[in-house]
Amino acid sequence: MIPKLPFLSLLGWWIAGSIAVQAQKRTIDQKVDSVLRLMTLDEKVGQMNQYSGNWAQTGPITGDDDKLQEIKEGKLGSMLNINGVRHTRELQQLAMQSRLKIPLLFGQDVIHGYRTTFPIPLAEAASWDLTAIERSARIAATEAAAGGIHWVFAPMVDIARDPRWGRIMEGAGEDPWLGAQVAAARVKGFQGTGLGHTDAVMACVKHFAAYGAAIGGRDYNSVDMSDRTLWEVYLPPFKAAAEAGAATFMNSFNDLNGIPASANSYLQRDILKGKWKFTGFIVSDWGSIGEMIPHGFVKDNYDAARAAIMAGNDMDMESRSYTKNLARLVKDGKVPVERVNESVRRILKKKFEMGLFDDPFRFCNEERERRVLNDPEHRKSARDMARKSIVLLKNQDQLLPLRTNVGKVAVIGPLAKAKMQMLGFWSTEWPDSDYIVSEWEGLRNKLGAENKLIYAKGCGIDDSSRANFGEAISAARQADIVIVTVGESRDMTGEAKSRSNLHLPGVQEDLIRALYETGKPIVVLISAGRPLIFNWTADHVPAILYTWWLGDEAGNAIADVLFGDYDPSAKLPVSFPRAEGQIPIYYDHFNTGRPALNDSDRFYRSAYNDLSIYPRFAFGYGLSYTSFSYSDLRLSSKSLDAGQKITVSFKLTNTGAYAGEEVAQWYLKDEVASLVRPVKELKGFSKVMLRPGESASVQFIIDQEKLSFYNRQLDWVAEPGTFELMIGSASDDIRLHSKFELRK
């Protein structure tokens, strides 16, 4: 029973609390300034300098003597790629030999797991399960922190509408709203209950900004777009991550409208530190400051350092532009020392917030490292996340789920027994691979004995040899069901992995066709980091699962779905093209003045004369073993004034024979506006578990925020007029429609 305190006592408590918080904040700010006042210019520049170590190093830190010396002289603020508590402790001890004993920050690319590898981020986004996504980041943070890491270079929140770009695997796909939800969930997962806890790490939101819009889908290429597109499509996930309290940002390699991101003050000062009031710090991406030279933006590293610091880039990763030039730029009067002070304040503040000044070794506990990195609960979560990420693309005649008494199962394909391939790009490298469950092992675990399984490789991932087709066909003929597992190798999609040809690599689709000819029932599993093109397979094979790269528990998760222990619920976070010629392809496109109403409507229409304009599989698409109906759509009103809301409800029913989850999506179209608006925009979703025959009432609110967009002046406004509401199971599977009006 809470005692009823008189209002004045509550007010008194509130004032006292505010003073305490302000005192705490002032204390950190005061501490930062007290350290800053003691620092020489060289020491200040040192804090803005970050080098990479050698992750693979297992013995004592050697071979980087110049870096070790710079640490001892207080000329290094941070390192990345340092493996484990023993090594971070060694380097932190060196930092404690420096004059001011300012602790090092240790950063690491923890993109989808540290010791326990989870599905790649694009796969996790397909789960549309924000709680599971946050938990995945939370586990990654817990393990990374136990491993001595203070700072993860994640989440990557780049919107990607072009699957030729290999880094599409790192983000949450093509939609700004879903991307924003996922970005915030990941930041919260990484930072947990707040910096300063030894299981919380600093997030680093990247790559700021619009890196995913590289022309031609070619990594590191230029980006050219209107400010409206920048604000409407590419910035929302960054804004959401900043609002979620992200500690740091990383800028990007690309030039944006002619200015390299590291030197882009519109992005870094006007938007991030200005409009969004970001108080953390910005690190460059690898050598991006030095890359201003090949960009043709500056003539040398001296100028690059000046351009970067003046544009708001606080820390220099690996280019050595700051450590070699910044002090001289200040002495030459080219950079005001206050610019340096501002960056150093931002960096020191994070070190204080992480508790590193109180105890530089608080993340260096080898017992905790051993315990946390081997926590069995983490693998259970990885399996759960993996199951939720698998997309059922096709299930003709309900071939799936299989029954465990299915008889002989032929498991055929280059990925059937693969282990490291299941990790995908950007997984943390560990010496062993025994802990990874292959698809073969997952099926064996499920069926209990290898005598039910027949294996044949059939072909390689990317070679042209058909020499082993015969063995594969023979295996298929002995089986009652054929599971063909194809796709990419893990290093075919990721950084610097742009591809002009997105078809299934090598002769894999020929293998599928050869096995199809046996007449046996076939299930195809496709492992990849991006949308691939496999039209023949999609047209002919009865059952297809898109299994992305699912991490350590891949085999178990796939077997869970194949045999119905988990009813697939994932939905595509990105459109799958029929051909590279359709790219860029995305669902929230404009209508144009000559929209093609269908695939035969081509005569002087915005259409291809040789191909459909529709994707092979649409954004938001994914099947279940059961089915769902949508009915009883109700709106609390068909109109609203500024500041009012409309409550929407509809009935969702499981009309099939399996319990399953439906991701019910709702989209809006602003029918007439001062700028053309997309044919639909995702504004929300509900993921609902229903038993066979069960119904649920699903509700959501439409408010002015949902109706708003960036107008010509880049103001976030909602304009009066009529809006179309669309609710459905995919962006191209709308089940309920309605209209309403925003009055003046």
The residues binding ligand GLC (CB under 6 A) are: 80, 109, 153, 206, 285-286, 495
Q: What share of the chain is helix, strand, coil (3-state, %, to 5)?
A: 35, 20, 45
Nearer to ligand GLC, 234 or 709 (CB): 234
Closest distance of CB 318 from ligand GLC, Å:
8
Nearer to ligand GLC, 147 or 622 (CB): 147
Closest distance of CB 323 from ligand GLC, Å:
18
Nearer to ligand GLC, 175 or 219 (CB): 219
> Residue 415's closest CA among 396, 436, 391?
436
Q: Residues 256-265, buried b or exposed e (16+ Cβ, 10 A)? A: beebbbbbbb
Nearer to ligand GLC, 151 or 617 (CB): 151
| Token representation of residue 703 | 């408010």
- 17 Cβ partners below 8 Å, 6+ apart? none
- Amino acid symbol at 567: D
Give dist(CA 330, CA 319) in Å, integer. 19
Nearer to ligand GLC, 153 or 281 (CB): 153
- Amino acid symbol at 331: K
- Amino acid symbol at 450: E
Nearer to ligand GLC, 50 or 686 (CB): 50
Cis bond leading into 236, ω under 30°?
A: no
Task: Look up tokens 């000044």; give the residue.
Answer: 357
Closest distance of CB 1 from ligand GLC, Å:
52
Known catalytic membership, residue 285: yes
Cis bond leading into 260, ω under 30°?
A: no
From 285, 303, 552, 588, active-site residue: 285
**Structural element, H or E, at residue 697:** strand 695-702
Closest distance of CB 94 from ligand GLC, Å:
22
**H-type helices in 390-502, by residue range?**
439-447, 469-477
Closest distance of CB 59 from ligand GLC, Å:
22
Closest distance of CB 680 from ligand GLC, Å:
31
Closest distance of CB 547 from ligand GLC, Å:
24
Give dist(CA 631, CA 635) in Å, integer. 13
Cis bond leading into 584, ω under 30°?
A: yes
10 Å Cβ neighbour count for 609? 7
Give dist(CA 689, CA 696) in Å, integer. 9
Nearer to ligand GLC, 50 or 556 (CB): 50
Give dist(CA 429, CA 378) in Å, integer. 17
| Phi/psi at 677 (5° precision) | -120, 155
Residue 127 CB-half CA count within 13 A:
27
Closest distance of CB 291 from ligand GLC, Å:
11
Closest distance of CB 312 from ligand GLC, Å:
19
Strands (E) in 370-529, as ranges, are: 391-395, 409-412, 453-456, 481-487, 522-527
Nearer to ligand GLC, 153 or 455 (CB): 153
**Computed from CA positions of residues 282, 287, 290, 292, in that sequence, does the dihedral angle turn out positive or negative?**
negative
Distance of alpha carbon 503 from its chain centroid, rounded?
A: 23
Nearer to ligand GLC, 107 or 414 (CB): 107
Angle at CA of residue 133, ends 130 and 134, nearest 5°: 85
Which are the catalytic amino acids?
285
